[in-house]
Amino acid sequence: MPQSVRKVVIPVAGLGTRFLPVTKAMPKEMLPIIDKPIIQYVVEEAVASGITDIILVTSHAKRPVEDHFDDNKELENWLTKQGKKDLLEQIKDIGKLANFVYVRQKGPYGNATPVLNAAHLIGDEPFAVVFGDDVFDCKVPRLKQMIDVYEKYQDPVLGVMKVDAEETKRYGIIEPQAQVEKRVYQLKSVVEKPGPEKAPSRLAANGGYILTPDIFDEIRKLKPGHGGEYVTLDAIHRLMKKRPVYAAEIEGTYYDTGSKIGWLKANLEMALARPDMAADVKALVKRLQKR
Q: In this structure, what is the dihedral angle of CA atoms 45, 264, 134, 182, given to the nearest 10 degrees?
A: 80
What per-residue confidence (pLDDT) applies to 61?
Answer: 87
> Taking a C-beta distance cutoff of 8 angstroms, is the pair 176, 185 a contact?
yes
With a CB cutoff of 8 Å and minimum separation 6, the contacts of 28 are 14, 16, 18, 19, 38, 132, 133, 258
Separation between Cα atoms, residue 88 and residue 91, nearest integer Å = 5
Q: What sign does the dihedral 117-257-211-220 (CA atoms) show?
A: negative
* Pairwise CA distance, residues 51 & 11, whole Å: 16
Question: For the chain, which residues make up each domain, given as ranges?
Answer: 7-258
- pLDDT for residue 228: 79
Provide the angle, in degrees to the nearest 10, between the axes of the packed helices 38-48 and 142-153: 40
Which of 265, 138, 18 has its CA nearest to residue 147?
138
Q: Considering Cα of 239, then 245, then 247, then 248, what sign does the dihedral take?
A: negative
- Taking 70 as the pLDDT cut, the residues of the chain under it are 1-2, 226
Query: Which pLDDT belongs to residue 194?
Result: 86
CB 252 within 8 A of CB 131: no
Task: Report pLDDT digits (tens) over 120-147.
Answer: 999 999 999 999 999 999 999 999 999 9
Angstrom distance (rounded) from CA 81 to CA 225: 56
Q: What is the CATH number of domain 7-258?
A: 3.90.550.10
- Contacts with 25 (C-beta within 8 Å, 6 or more apart), sequence order: none
